[in-house]
């Protein structure tokens, strides 16, 4: 089957970040430690609710304010949660090569509005894509099957004609179970090899 669409994860593929960095920055706003933020935000499922679109930034602020025992500023909290990204600049050449060759490009991400907004303000990487499938907009997250169904719909082709790139093994395995061609992102050159092996030549010129 010929690949027609390439689907990219956002975090730690298009942009780099660390959760520990996010927890530490948010902790400074809340007067708490990074470990406390990890427990309140991540271990509690609060971040997942945010990324599913079940609550907004104000809801996150309210819950963290209750946990911290102080009035947390929402704008400062969302800024701290988002000022954590760096652009994966070498990947832009691959993306642009795929685009020039006529492949449809889709972003598929578990994310929240302030992250997307922050990235959009700083770089044009998301503008290079034909469609975005974002967890908070559709109420589903990787590795659940519903989000891959939405990605295939956005791709406008069969699942077997989609090449999916993600930095987490469980997400790649779920994509493969849904019928997509999946590869684990570990770097630019291995990605080029995987694209070439799948019959995609654009963006693989140095391989």
pLDDT tens for each residue of 111-170: 999 999 999 999 999 999 999 999 999 999 999 999 999 999 999 999 999 999 999 999
Average pLDDT, the chain: 96
Averaged pLDDT for residues 23-32: 96
**46 and 119 housed in the same domain:** no
Domain of residue 113 covers 5-16+85-197
**91 and 77 housed in the same domain:** no
**100 and 181 housed in the same domain:** yes
Domain boundary among 56, 82, 108: 82
**150 and 190 housed in the same domain:** yes
Q: 3-state secondary structure string, the chain? A: CCCCEEEECCECCCEECCHHHHHHHHHHHHCCCHHHHHHHHHHCCHHHHHHCCCCCHHHHHHHHHHHHCCCCCHHHHHHHHHCCCEECHHHHHHHHHHHHCCCEEEEEECCCHHHHHHHHHHCCHHHHCCEEEEHHHHCCCCCCHHHHHHHHHHHCCCHHHEEEEECCHHHHHHHHHCCCEEEECCCHHHHHHHHHHCCCCCCCCCC
**110 and 176 housed in the same domain:** yes
pLDDT value of residue 202: 72
How many domains does the chain fold into? 2
Q: Is the pLDDT of residue 93 over 90?
A: yes
Q: Within a domain: residue 205?
A: no
pLDDT value of residue 1: 73
Q: Within a domain: residue 206?
A: no
Q: What is the pTM of this model?
A: 0.95
Q: Is the pLDDT of residue 106 over 50?
A: yes
Q: Within a domain: residue 60?
A: yes
Confidence class for position 207, pLDDT limits 50, 70, 90: very low
CATH of residue 96's domain is 3.40.50.1000
Averaged pLDDT for residues 45-71: 97
% of the chain with per-residue pLDDT over 90: 96
Averaged pLDDT for residues 90-104: 96
Averaged pLDDT for residues 81-88: 97
Q: Within a domain: residue 107?
A: yes
């Amino acid at each position: 089957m010929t690949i027609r669409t390439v689907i990219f994860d956002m975090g730690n593929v298009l942009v780099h970040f660390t959760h520990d960095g996010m927890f530490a920055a948010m902790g400074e706003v809340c007067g708490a430690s990074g470990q406390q933020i990890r427990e309140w935000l991540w271990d509690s499922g609060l971040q997942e609710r945010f990324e599913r679109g079940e609550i907004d930034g104000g809801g996150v602020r309210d819950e963290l304010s209750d946990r911290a025992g102080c009035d947390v500023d929402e704008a400062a909290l969302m800024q701290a949660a988002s000022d954590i990204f760096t652009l994966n600049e070498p990947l832009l050449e691959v993306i642009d090569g795929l685009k020039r060759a006529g492949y449809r490009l889709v972003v598929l991400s578990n994310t929240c509005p302030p992250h997307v907004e922050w990235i959009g303000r700083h770089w044009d990487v998301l503008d290079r894509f034909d469609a975005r499938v974002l967890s908070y907009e559709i109420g589903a997250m990787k590795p659940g099957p519903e989000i891959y169904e939405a990605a295939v719909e956005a791709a406008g082709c069969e699942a077997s004609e989609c090449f999916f790139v993600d930095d987490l093994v469980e997400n790649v395995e779920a994509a493969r179970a849904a019928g997509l061609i999946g590869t684990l992102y570990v770097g630019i050159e291995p990605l080029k090899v995987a694209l070439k092996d799948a019959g995609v030549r654009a963006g693989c010129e140095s391989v």
